[in-house]
Structure 1
Amino acid sequence: MASQYAIRGATAKGVAASVEEGVARGALAPGDALPPVRRLAEQLGLSPGTVATAYKELRQRGVVVTRGRGGTVVAAAPPVAPVGPAPTRRPPRVPDGLRDLAAGHPDPAFLPDLLPPTPLSPGARSHRTAPRLPHLEDTVRDWLAADGVPGGHVTFAHGALDLVARLLTTELRPGDAVAMEDPGYHHLLDLVQALGLRTLAVAVDDEGMRPGALDGALRAGARAVVCSPRAQNPYGGRFTRRRRDDLAAVLRERPGVLVVENDSAADIAGVPLQSLAAADAPPARWAHVRTVSKYLGTDLRWAAAACDPMTLARHDGLLLLTSGWVSHLLQETVHGLLTAPATRDRVRQAHDAYAQRRTALREELAARGIPAHGASGMNLWVPVRDESAVVNGLRTRGWWVAAGARFRIAAPPGVRITTAALRADEAPRLAEDFATVLGESQATYGG
């Protein structure tokens, strides 16, 4: 328990604000326990109901979580930006001399040069009446149609997380549940928590979400589903046609559930798309989200989505009341890149290279008796017993990989290795080092 920080307040809002201030200052760190309701009520001279209301507000905002008998603790990634010298939630700097295979970034060699569009947007004017460039809309529809995704209703946003946040905000209220992949993309897991929503874990395998696990989450009350049809991060799963149809059958029984597909790698995923939106009986409420940061530029904060008419109307209604539109300069840049022949050639090269590199490491690990998952995308997920022992062991051999804890809800431990920039001829050395580390870990820790 963080005993050095004294929570204050004479009202529920005051108590909640005091806890949030402690988190912002770094005096209350992720995992720190808050005092039990009755104890804090006695200390502050308040009723237990007042403190319980404060804790409820903090839970709804994702600042704290309740762990049953474990009490109330500060969330792993609370939506409170640190003030002053407090530590941030940004990934740690890669130590000097280590090969970074943890960040999840693409190989810069395959990213096209970013140039400002010409001519630049003339003058100051409002784009609220025409937020999307028609020629970019047409390009996006063609892009989606090539994969069978209906493109009758499309919209844009400032990246996938911005788009998913707006979709969930318009559909759900604090306390509602979202079915999420486990293991899954840590930024999405943090986002759902920050919105005050509950996460229901859905186990995944090499074909994506497991239908039985999804059915269980829906029976438990999930009002939305966030999934990856390919290049699932971190597991690397992808929907086969049969898996897509099985999931669609589960969703068919609950037409009011919003289904959000996050197709983050799209053209470099290495496998064809099997979208739920293209199933014979697609979900009634759906959105298929695409970004370009993995293969056009990590600083291109732009995303597109195709969705059903009601989902589009709700998303765009909230967008209109907030940021209003996505910069037309950014839209022109994205359009220029999507339509440039040189860019398409670079994307094809990335597609082939990423598949080769991912496969090379998976096969080298398999040759040493180490199972790994990565049927698509830029990452491999390697199950291990002790994440810290493996991460630290590989660090001593010059490799920097990601511990799986931040990706997991209830899934067994593992590590994520980003293979995007790992050349195929480097795979044997990494696999050999991995095998050595596992042997040392087993001898030291029993696994």
Structure 2
Amino acid sequence: MTYDLWADAERAIATGDGGRARYQRLASFIHEAVRSGLLRPGDQLPTVRELASRLGVSVTTVVSAYSALREDGAVQGEVGRGTFVRGTEPAQRPDVPVSLAAPGAPATWRRRALANTEHRLTRAHPDAVDLMRGSSNSEYLPLPVLKRAWTSVVRSLTVDDIQYPVSTDPEPELVAQLLALFEKDGIPVDESDLMVGSSTIQFLSLVTELLRRDRPGDWPLTVAVEEPGYQAAMDVLERFGCGLVGMATDEHGVLPRHLRAALEGGAALVVLTPRASNPAGTTWSAERLRELADVVASHPDVLVLEDDYFADGSTSRPGSLLADQRVAHRIVHVRSFAKVIAPDLRIAAAVVRSTLHSSLAQVKYLTEGWTSRTTQRVLARVLAADETAELLGRARAAFAERRSAAEELLAEGLQEAGGSVQHAHDGLYTWIRLPPGSDASMVAEHVARGGFLVAPGEPFFIRPGAGRFLRLNSGSATADEIAAASKAIVLAATGADARTGSRLTP
């Protein structure tokens, strides 16, 4: 398993917390792990001595924590067997991957799992090339254009520009650029449909907050997500207390029958990625878009958030459910610019129709206020620059070339052993299914020793336990790095050490 729960526990008890004793911080951490589903009924906790050694604390600290948990009814001790999370039976994994987090539970294990793994491997292999993170290739971020845009905007600022705004509508200069981009992608948009925020995650949070306010009878909300899918969105939704239903994908996106099953099972919100999905690179075909629209149309109370996070780095134009009048009024289409312009700009644009637009704008105003007008103008001028268009054209070609090279090398090297590579139509990532019996954590360890950091795939699923997948950020690599990293992955995945053994890096 990639996610190391006890590594998080070690950090939690090492951090001061209002003067509470270490055993209290440990007991609180285990409580939260139980509430969020990371520890489930029937799970056995480490022995007192094992956990004391793992965390670098005294045996007395662990004994006191376990005692406090027993008094609270969170765990039970069984003579001769150990300490177990309380429950009528051991945790079971249902056929349909559903995770129901307790309201407010800090179920953010996925991002922490990736961060912990990266920290550990980077510390042990400081010279390794990082192809693990979701970042775009810095070579294709328009820094010179961005600097000129900032200078131009700042020079033209007036005192009114830095005051509280009279209106929270998007800046006209940015609106003009957005309308042109959406038109180019064949997505029908009117100026009155536009909203501006900081990110897809912000809009997802706003939609969830809106549903919690307007549909209290549906709470806790069930949300259908792609699986594998965007780990940060899963963390945020579970943080709200939502339950997650996974929908399987192929190279053309979510399978319609899985979407139908999720909606028939009670999902009130669906999160879909039209193109370049993270981590698998799936992209809708025209036929798949029609099929998904038919399913959504048959469930008139469901909202859909489209996460078009890679739009301006993409070579494909799959369209949007906004084009189908049966469902357009229930779609929140989000186009963000972090991957291809600059993550630190914190700008995303949403297309939302009619009543839903008014309701969402109200929630945003009450919770977030407005999005910086200065930053909106900067983005507008970056998008308007010919140099940006030229740079993005080169980036698209490079990403496609590197994805193709990685897919070919990895498929050839893994096929005989039973591994495979998901064909990605677009985006930065290469999604790898390792040969049977492989442990992605062990493979990542060996690949790091070979000079490259890659992401174990477990955090891209609803539940921990998916141990046969890796994500490679092929878009952030050079051609030579793709070749070397692919070779390292194949060697690590087809060797005996990929299947057995303990973690190499402390």
Q: Which TM-score tier does this pair reach, normalised by the shorter chain?
A: 0.7 to 0.9
Q: 2:105 pairs with 62, 79, 84, which one?
A: 62
Indicate the percent of aligned positions where both proteins have the same amino acid: 25
Whether 1:386 and 2:386 are equivalent positions in the alignment is no
User: What SS does the aligned partner of 2:102 have?
Assistant: helix
Q: 1:143 pairs with 140, 162, 181, which one?
A: 181
Tell me the equivalent position of 2:204: 164
User: What SS does the aligned partner of 1:199 have?
Assistant: strand
Alignment partners' CA distance in 2, 1:192 and 1:144:
28
Tell me the equivalent position of 2:165: 127
Tell me the equivalent position of 1:10: none
User: What SS does the aligned partner of 1:178 have?
Assistant: strand
Whether 1:422 and 2:477 are equivalent positions in the alignment is yes
Alpha carbons of structure 1 residues 28 and 92: separation in structure 2 relative to 1, 3 Å: farther
Shift of 1:268: 1.1
Whether 1:273 and 2:326 are equivalent positions in the alignment is no
* Contact 2:329–2:356 (Cα < 8 Å) also in 1: no
- One-letter amino acid of the counterpart of residue 397, structure 1: G
Whether 1:346 and 2:391 are equivalent positions in the alignment is yes
Tell me the equivalent position of 1:9: none
Shift of 1:98: 0.5
* Contact 1:132–1:325 (Cα < 8 Å) also in 2: no
- One-letter amino acid of the counterpart of residue 427, structure 2: G
Shift of 1:202: 0.6
1:209-258 per-position Cα deviation (integer Å, ceiling 9, x unaligned): 01111111101100010010001000110000011111111111012110
Alpha carbons of structure 1 residues 23 and 180: separation in structure 2 relative to 1, 3 Å: farther
Alignment partners' CA distance in 1, 2:40 and 2:68:
9
Tell me the equivalent position of 2:287: 242
1:306-349 per-position Cα deviation (integer Å, ceiling 9, x unaligned): 11212211111011112211001111111111111111111111
Whether 1:432 and 2:487 are equivalent positions in the alignment is yes
Q: 1:214 pairs with 250, 259, 282, which one?
A: 259
Alignment partners' CA distance in 2, 1:396 and 1:285:
48
Alignment partners' CA distance in 1, 2:196 and 2:26:
33
1:61-117 per-position Cα deviation (integer Å, ceiling 9, x unaligned): 1336xxxxxxxxxx63699xxxxxxx9967733340111000011111111123222
Alpha carbons of structure 1 residues 136 and 181: separation in structure 2 relative to 1, 3 Å: same
Whether 1:43 and 2:43 are equivalent positions in the alignment is no
Tell me the equivalent position of 2:16: none
Shift of 1:282: 3.8
Tell me the equivalent position of 2:83: none
Tell me the equivalent position of 1:67: none
* Contact 2:492–2:498 (Cα < 8 Å) also in 1: no
Alpha carbons of structure 1 residues 220 and 128: separation in structure 2 relative to 1, 3 Å: farther
User: What SS does the aligned partner of 1:445 have?
Assistant: coil
Alpha carbons of structure 1 residues 91 and 220: separation in structure 2 relative to 1, 3 Å: same
Shift of 1:396: 1.2
- One-letter amino acid of the counterpart of residue 159, structure 2: P
Alpha carbons of structure 1 residues 360 and 324: separation in structure 2 relative to 1, 3 Å: same
Alignment partners' CA distance in 1, 2:186 and 2:442:
44
1:290-320 per-position Cα deviation (integer Å, ceiling 9, x unaligned): 1111111121101101112122111110111
What are the residue-to-residue correspondences of 1:188-337 with 2, within 5 Å? 188-279=233-324, 281-337=326-382
Alignment partners' CA distance in 1, 2:166 and 2:200:
21
Shift of 1:409: 2.1
* Contact 2:314–2:396 (Cα < 8 Å) also in 1: yes
Alpha carbons of structure 1 residues 443 and 420: separation in structure 2 relative to 1, 3 Å: closer
Structure 1, unaligned stretches of length 5 or more?
A: 6-17, 46-51, 65-74, 80-86
Alignment partners' CA distance in 2, 1:43 and 1:29:
16
Tell me the equivalent position of 1:103: 133
- One-letter amino acid of the counterpart of residue 170, structure 2: R
Alignment partners' CA distance in 1, 2:251 and 2:467:
15
What are the residue-to-residue correspondences of 1:78-117 with 2, within 5 Å? 92-93=118-119, 94-95=122-123, 96-113=126-143, 114-115=146-147, 116=150, 117=153
Alpha carbons of structure 1 residues 443 and 309: separation in structure 2 relative to 1, 3 Å: closer
User: What SS does the aligned partner of 1:417 have?
Assistant: strand
Alignment partners' CA distance in 1, 2:195 and 2:299:
25
Alignment partners' CA distance in 2, 1:77 and 1:62:
14
Alpha carbons of structure 1 residues 354 and 228: separation in structure 2 relative to 1, 3 Å: same
User: What SS does the aligned partner of 1:259 have?
Assistant: strand
* Contact 2:251–2:283 (Cα < 8 Å) also in 1: yes
> Aligned pair count?
405
Shift of 1:425: 3.4
Alpha carbons of structure 1 residues 292 and 443: separation in structure 2 relative to 1, 3 Å: closer
Range with bigger deviation, 262-271 or 164-173? 164-173
Alpha carbons of structure 1 residues 249 and 33: separation in structure 2 relative to 1, 3 Å: closer
Alignment partners' CA distance in 2, 1:311 and 1:343:
33
Alpha carbons of structure 1 residues 91 and 105: separation in structure 2 relative to 1, 3 Å: farther
- One-letter amino acid of the counterpart of residue 184, structure 2: A
Tell me the equivalent position of 1:11: none
Shift of 1:443: 7.3
- One-letter amino acid of the counterpart of residue 158, structure 1: S
Alpha carbons of structure 1 residues 44 and 409: separation in structure 2 relative to 1, 3 Å: closer
